[in-house]
A and B are shown apart, each in its own frame.
Chain A
C-alpha cells in the first residue's frame, strides 16, 4: 500500500517535459545548404573560394508543448522562407550556406519534471549569405567547408 504513492510519483517523474519542432523553408527562393556547398546555375558544385560571404542569417524561437510533449502549443513548425528571402535579397546574395541548427532545453524544463505541465526547447538557426563569385567556373568546388565559418 505504501508503494502506491511512490509508484505514482515515479510514473509522473518518468514523464518528460520538453518540446519538438520542425524547421522548414517551403517557399525559399534561394538555395539553403546545411553544408558549405551549393550548385550554381548550371548545376555544378560551387563552394569555398567560389562563394563570397556577403552577410549572415539568424533566427531564434522557442517551441512549447505539454502533457509529456504530446500536445504542441507554440512554434511546432518554423518556416524561415520569408526571412531568408528578405535577408538574402537585401544582402545581394545568391544562396545560404552553413545553415546550422542549435537546440537547447529551456531552464523551465528542470522545474517541469512532471510531464503534464508545459515544457519548451530553445532553437537558434544561423547561416552565411553568399554570392557566387565565378558562376562560369562551376565544378571546381572545394572538398570541404565553406566561406567564413571555421570548423
Chain B
C-alpha cells in the first residue's frame, strides 16, 4: 500500500512537467488580444466592428491516476489537445471570410491537481466580429 502511494507521488512529480499550449498559428485571420485592431493605428479610432457571436476554446492536458486494488498497481489516463484543435475551432467560426476577426476577451491559463489527478489548461474566450474598413 505504501509502495502504491510512493509510486503515485513519483508519477505525479513527473506529471508536473506536463504543459498546455495555446496559440492559433494556423489560423488565417487575426485573433486579437488587447484594444488595438490594426497596424499603425496608434490611439486612433478602431475599425468599425459588428459582433457576430461568442467564441470559446481550450487547450488542456489532463492526467488521471487510478489504483487497481486487484494487485496490478496503478494505471493512468492521459488526454490532451494539440495545437490543431484551437486552429480548427477558430477556423470553424471564421471560415474563409476575410472580414472576420476574433477578439479575445479572456486568456486564462490555469492548473489544478491533487494526488491522483492533474489538469493544466489555457482557456480562450472571445467574440467573432465583422470588421469594416478604416475610418
Contacts and interface: CB of A to CB of B under 8 A. Distances in A.
Interface in A1-55: 13-43, 45-47
A135 B39 contact: yes
A32 B112 CA distance: 28
B33 A104 contact: no
A15 B18 CA distance: 20
Given A22-B108, A23-B107, A38 B30 contact: yes
B108 A21 contact: yes
A115 interface: yes
Contacts of B21: 100-102
A104 B39 contact: no
B134 A42 contact: yes
Contacts of A102: 19-22, 109, 122
A121 B107 CA distance: 14
Interface of B: 9, 12-13, 15-43, 47, 83, 90, 98, 101, 104, 106-116, 118, 120-122, 124, 131-134
